[in-house]
């Protein structure tokens, strides 16, 4: 095929879109192995599977959706989202600390989006200037760069883990974070940080309370020192409801406010919320962007801007899950039943992670720190080589920049030791 095929039709940015998604490519390899009769292990896909390999579905949510009135399935939602759902989104993001934040005068706004990806797009499209760099961990979900480049943005990274083993913040290189933040502030009049925490994809890492506070204080201090630079801290909450501290960030923020931290006008905190994992409705594409700031005029402006952006991009987010989930949580019985089923699904992940860490320790596999959520991570300079060696043993994982992602969410408990053994063999 002519390498310039489509040049007269596609713009230069469109022509740069090449290749296949790495994660789905390795999932396809697993599926092909099974098709050919192999006893293969799937550690590729980022969806929670039961131990029998079927998709894990919260039955309480499923039953509620199937009982939705036809009009709630067929009708448009309001452009910004159903009011009851937007109220729920704030609670899902902030948890038990929401009321206290209200009492402290923190203003909140939410916009419904097609999944967490829609929330990320809203942020990329509106909180940074075209040509800017967004600050990321050096290990992050690969599609971040696609969202950013689609909005003519680039990225800067800081180290996932500190070089000093004696650091009081073992899961963030706070000095590198501060240095990179300061560098961006010297070149840009808007700085945005994307932080997937807790239950980080791809590592399963969660910051400690001290680590959260250190990051928050670093951004606070930067905003105070650079009053002409807008600061946005986006917390990607895709997996937070499977974490040990699902609302640790709202607790840390509230503690800072109660201690008298002067929240400057040029600092915004926003949560990219997804119901895909927490409510097992991946395909219904339901999420929200929840923003908090002490000035109601700021959140009102954001509310308008996000609504217009959504209208100009996807029109309105799907309605049925907004209606169903908000109705379900409005009922104490429904919310409690959802929580019990969510706890059952979380226990699948906890049991797999504990066994995996134990198995890796026995085999001297140098697994990265991992605490919550769907994944674990092996740092390595040659991730493709490691993944290929595992595939030779019919264990399928995902090679990414800097290491290999292990999808504990997809691996049945009985196959967890096989994954550790495959990694041990590959490392030799």
Contact indicator for 326, 85 with CB cutoff of 8 Å: yes
Nearest CA to 92 out of 231, 277, 257, 219 is that of: 277
The full set of domain ranges for the chain reads: 12-58+336-427, 77-318
The residues that bridge with 136 in the sheet, in sequence order, are 157
Give φ, ψ of 425 to 5 degrees. -65, -45
CA distance 280 to 64: 13
Q: What is the pLDDT along the chain (428 residues), one digit of tens a residue?
A: 455 777 788 888 787 777 678 899 999 999 999 999 999 999 999 999 999 999 999 999 999 999 999 999 999 999 999 999 999 999 999 999 999 999 999 999 999 999 999 999 999 999 999 999 999 999 999 999 999 999 999 999 999 999 987 889 999 999 999 999 999 999 999 999 999 999 999 999 999 999 999 999 999 999 999 999 999 999 999 999 999 999 999 999 999 999 998 899 999 999 999 999 999 999 999 999 999 999 999 999 999 999 999 999 999 999 999 999 999 999 999 999 999 999 999 999 999 999 999 999 999 999 999 999 999 999 999 999 999 999 999 999 999 999 999 999 999 999 999 999 999 999 99
Pairwise CA distance, residues 47 & 365, whole Å: 25
Instruction: Return the closest-CA partner of residue 267 out of 295, 308, 238, 300.
Output: 295
77-318 belongs to which CATH class?
Answer: alpha beta
Distance CA 387, CA 400 (A): 10
For the record, the structure tokens of 341 come out as 């089923």
What pLDDT score was predicted for residue 18?
72
Distance CA 292, CA 287 (A): 17
Residue 165 is predicted with a pLDDT of 79
pTM equals 0.96
Q: Residue 101 contacts by C-beta under 8 Å, 6 or more apart in sequence?
A: 94, 108, 250, 253, 254, 257, 292
Say if CB 352 and CB 371 are below 8 A apart: no
How large is the angle between the packed helices 320-330 and 83-94, nearest 10 degrees? 60
Three-state secondary-structure class, residue 174:
helix
Of 147, 185, 385, which Cα lies nearest the Cα of 289?
147
DSSP state, residue 128: S
Dihedral in degrees, nearest 10, Cα atoms 205, 209, 211, 213: 140
Q: What is the pLDDT of residue 10?
A: 87
- Say how far apart CA 148 and CA 288 lie, in whole Å: 18
Tokens read off for 411: 């691996």
Q: State which H helix or E strand residue 231 sits in.
A: strand 230-236
DSSP state of 207: -
Q: Which of 123, 219, 239 is nearest to 172 (CA)?
A: 219
Q: In what order do the strands lie in the sheet with 375-379?
A: 375-379, 403-407, 398-400
CA distance 98 to 91: 6
In terms of DSSP bridges, do strands 190-196 and 398-400 run parallel, antiparallel, or are they unpaired? unpaired
CATH topology identical between 12-58+336-427 and 77-318: no
Query: What three-state secondary structure class fits 279?
Result: coil
Cα three-residue angle 119-137-158, rounded to 5 degrees: 140
Which residue(s) pair with 339 in the sheet?
none
Instruction: Indicate the class that CATH gives domain 12-58+336-427.
Output: alpha beta
Give the residues across from 137 on adjacent strands. 158
């Amino acid at each position: 095929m002519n390498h310039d095929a489509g040049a007269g039709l596609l713009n230069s940015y469109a022509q740069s879109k090449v290749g296949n998604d790495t994660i789905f490519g390795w999932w396809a390899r697993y599926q092909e192995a099974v098709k050919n009769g192999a006893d293969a292990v799937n550690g590729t896909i980022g969806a929670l599977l039961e131990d029998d390999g079927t998709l894990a579905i919260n039955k309480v949510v499923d039953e509620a959706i199937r009982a939705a009135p036809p009009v709630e399935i067929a009708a448009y939602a309001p452009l910004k989202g159903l009011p009851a759902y937007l109220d729920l989104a704030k609670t899902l993001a902030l948890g038990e600390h929401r009321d206290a934040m209200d009492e402290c005068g923190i203003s909140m706004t939410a916009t419904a989006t097609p999944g967490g990806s829609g929330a990320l797009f809203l942020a990329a499209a509106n909180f940074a200037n075209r040509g800017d760099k967004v600050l990321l961990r050096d290990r992050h979900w690969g599609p971040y760069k696609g969202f950013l480049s689609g909005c003519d943005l680039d990225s800067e990274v800081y180290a996932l883990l500190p070089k000093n083993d004696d650091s009081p913040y073992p899961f963030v290189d706070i000095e590198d974070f501060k240095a990179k933040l300061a560098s961006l502030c010297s070149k840009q009049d808007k700085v945005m940080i994307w932080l997937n925490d807790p239950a980080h994809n791809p590592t399963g890492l969660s910051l400690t309370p001290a680590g959260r506070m250190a990051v928050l204080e670093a951004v606070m201090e930067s905003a105070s020192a650079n009053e002409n630079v807008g600061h946005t801290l986006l917390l990607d909450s895709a997996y937070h409801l499977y974490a040990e501290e699902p609302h640790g960030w709202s607790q840390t923020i509230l503690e800072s406010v109660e201690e008298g931290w002067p929240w400057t006008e040029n600092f915004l905190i926003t949560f990219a919320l997804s119901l895909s994992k927490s409510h097992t409705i991946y395909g219904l594409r339901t999420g929200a962007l929840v923003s908090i700031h002490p000035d109601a005029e700021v959140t009102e402006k954001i509310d308008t801007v996000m609504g217009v952006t959504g209208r100009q991009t996807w029109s309105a987010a799907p309605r049925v899950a907004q209606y169903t989930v908000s109705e379900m949580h409005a009922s104490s019985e429904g919310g409690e039943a959802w929580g019990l089923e969510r706890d059952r699904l979380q226990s699948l992940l906890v049991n797999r992670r504990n066994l995996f860490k134990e198995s890796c320790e026995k085999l001297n596999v140098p697994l990265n720190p991992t605490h919550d959520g769907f994944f674990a991570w092996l740092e390595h300079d040659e991730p493709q080589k490691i993944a290929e060696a595992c595939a030779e043993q019919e264990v399928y994982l995902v090679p990414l920049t800097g290491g290999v992602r292990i999808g504990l969410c997809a691996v049945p408990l009985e196959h967890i030791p096989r994954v550790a053994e495959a990694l041990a063999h590959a490392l030799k």
